[in-house]
Structures are given as structure tokens and as C-alpha cells.
Chain A
């Protein structure tokens, strides 16, 4: 499985080349618009890692006992990656917001959603460190992730009611519409695929490390 994700070694450099060389800069915004090829995929991957963590948590809590320990690791590792990605998303997003809207932060629906994820992740890590012991920590923090995941539909339902006046799509031009030419679309799609693969590749590496660590603890105790 891990071998498939190794394509990322080819795709990622290709994405960088496409983003900086092949795709044209947007009108007015010029080269700053190229941040879209990193910001949007990072945001997507952070949401993906949240969903993976939540789903793995459901599996961990409700599945039979044998696979459980591994799923707890998957969920935790996914949260670590998600936390890194969400910080990257927030930083790239606010740089972009400064370039296109003139301020670093405007509380538009997307920014608010990112803050929601950021808060959930930091609550998760606070809870996890407060719980201490691993096995108990895994169960309770998994339950928290499941709960957080189920509030997402309510969150999504409320967002447009709170921000009715703001734009429906990400904008990279003053007309407040998504204008991407074909080259830009292809690059963005390419980058989304690369980031998704990158996420899964890192996740599988981290899962292997967790498995090795668990094995090491067992070996140490057997001695």
C-alpha cells in the first residue's frame, strides 16, 4: 500500500513546477495568485485528515478488539498531520487574504470553518495531554473526535445563515468570481491529488512508526 503513495515523490515536484512555471498568474493579482495551488490543497487535506481521524475513531470505539490499537494510532497520527496542515492553511490563507482583500483576517465563512478545525484540533491535543495514560487517552479523545465530527453538518448548516452577505466561492479577482483558465484548473487538480497522496503517504509512514514503537514496548517488557 505504501508503495502506491510513493508516486508522491514524482507528483509533488511536478506540482511545484506546474504551479510556478506552467500555470499563468491570475489577472490583477499576478503571481501572488499562485498560492492557491498550495493553500486550497492544504485546506482540503486538513479536512480530509479530520474526517479520517473521526472515522478511525468510530472504528476504534465500535470495532472488535483486535484492530483497535492500530485504529487509535491512525486517528492520532491523522490529527498530528491535520494540525500541521491546518496551521499551513491558516498562514497561506491569511497571506493570500492580505494580498487580495487587504487584511489578514476577515472572518469569512471559510476562515471561520478553518478556525473551527483549529479549535477542535487544539482541544483534542489538550485533552490528550491532560489524559496522560495512553490506552485511556485514546478512548476518550476518540470519543471527542467523533462528537466533533458530528457537529460539522450543523456547523455547515449555520455558516450561510450567519454570513449571508459574503461570497459563495473563493475569489482570486475583484469581480468576486472564480475565474480559472484551463491551465490553472489542471494545476489545481494536480496539486489536490498530490497533497492527498502526500497526506496518505505521511500517515502510512507515521502508522508504521507507531507500530514499531508498540512492538518495541512489548519487546522491552518481555526481556
Chain B
């Protein structure tokens, strides 16, 4: 199975690096949002609450733009049958999960500094901030990988992906925003509770998706 996961990952990264479609879309979307918020607020200092909210709204919507491609592309281009014939169903899910987690972490690595720079964010507790950003990103990508498979089977409609992801991601966004607020507010009160919650959520979703994936992915 490891070999299959590796082959599928290699293929997905190659395809994405050549088209750069999803990466460009997500990063330019997030960049546009960040800059537009910066321009609108034009240097007015924002409270930690507002900053965290904006940051996670940007993350959420760029995930909604970029993370469904992994499955939608296979279905749109008619390549999924080639993949299904060569890669086992479990390996398909795991490789897509790893791909999306890495993809979204890369997006976050690009966006977060830009956001901090343009909105003049002062991070009081950097470790917790970073832990929250990446564990939240993992939770978002774990959830949306599975939902992307469903959406690709439903014809890949973009808004459907958002409609389906949002209710599932409410606890994630709450915890992530809460954790980010704490890391921005003061050094003393910030703990790792929220990142742990997000990791637990990611683990639960990934395990459940792994069990359910064949019901979504194998044709009936």
C-alpha cells in the first residue's frame, strides 16, 4: 500500500506542479482577500477577535477554492478509473489526504506571513499561534478531502462543497478562532487546548472517512 500511496502522491504533485491551477487559485484568492481587508481597514488597529475571525475566514474560503480539485479533477478529466484500477481504494484516500494536508499547509505558509504583515498583527504567543494555524489547517483539509470525494461524485459543483463543509467545520472554526485569539491576546492565558482539540478532530474525521470512503468512491 505504501508504494501505491507514493505513486499516487508523485502523480498528483506532478500534475499540480504542471498546471498549478489549484495553488494559483488558492493563493491569489487568499492574497486578494488579505490585501482587500488591509486596504479597507487602512491601518486601523483591529481587535484580536476580529483578526482571528478574518484569518480563519480567509483560510476557510481558500480551502473551499482549492481543496476539492484533488477529486473533482480526477472525475472531470475521466482519469479516476485509471487511478482506481491501479491504486487501491484505501491508498487513494490516504494519498489524497496527505496531498491535501501538504497542499493546504503550503497555502498557509504563504498566506499567514502576508496576513501578519498587511494587518500588522502582533502575535504574543508564537508557538500556540503556529500550532493553532497548522492543526486547524489539518482539520480543514482532513474534512474537506472526504467531502471533496462526495462533491466530485455529485458533478463537482463549487458551492455544494462550501454548503457541505461549513456545518462540519463549525467546531473546527470555533476552536481555531478561539486558539488564535488567545495567542494574540496575551502570553499567560494561552495554552495548547485548542490545537489538541483540532488534532483530535482531524484524527476522528480521518478515521471515519477512511472507513466510509469506499461507499463514496466505488461506483454503484
Contact = CB atoms under 8 A, between A and B. Distances in A.
A and B touch in the complex (CB under 8 A): yes
Contact of A140 (B153, B166, B167, B208): B153
B168 A130 contact: no
Chain B interface main SS type: helix
A139 B200 CA distance: 26
A211 B201 CA distance: 38
Nearest to A133: B220
A136 B212 contact: no
B171 A157 contact: yes
A144 B153 contact: no
Interface string B172-207: 001100100000000000000000010011001100
A120 B164 CA distance: 7
A161 B177 CA distance: 12
A119 interface: yes
A147 B208 contact: yes
Contact of B150 (A135, A143, A157, A161): A143
Contacts of A120: 167-168
A148 B167 CA distance: 8
Contacts of B155: 130
Nearest to B150: A140
B160 interface: yes
A136 B150 CA distance: 10
B160 A130 contact: yes
Interface stretch (A6-14, A121-129, A172-180): A121-129
A131 interface: yes
Interface string A179-195: 00000000000000000
Contacts of B167: 116, 119-120, 123, 148, 151
Interface size class of B (residues with CB under 8 A): 20 to 34
Contacts of B160: 126-127, 130
B86 interface: no
A131 B155 CA distance: 8
Interface centre among B150, B212, B216 (most CB of A within 10 A): B212
A49 B21 CA distance: 42
A131 B209 CA distance: 19
Contacts of A135: 220
A157 B146 CA distance: 23
A91 B4 CA distance: 52
Contact of A123 (B153, B163, B200): B163
Given A116-B170, A122-B163, A158-B197, A146 B178 contact: no
A155 B171 contact: yes
Nearest to A161: B178
Interface string A17-44: 0000000000000000000000000000
Given A136-B220, A161-B178, A131 B153 contact: yes
A110 to B, nearest CB: 15
B18 interface: no
A16 B208 CA distance: 43
10 contacts: A123-B167, A126-B163, A139-B220, A143-B212, A147-B168, A147-B208, A151-B171, A158-B175, A158-B178, A162-B178
Interface of A: 61, 116, 119-120, 122-123, 126-127, 130-131, 135-136, 139-140, 142-144, 146-148, 150-151, 154-155, 157-158, 161-162
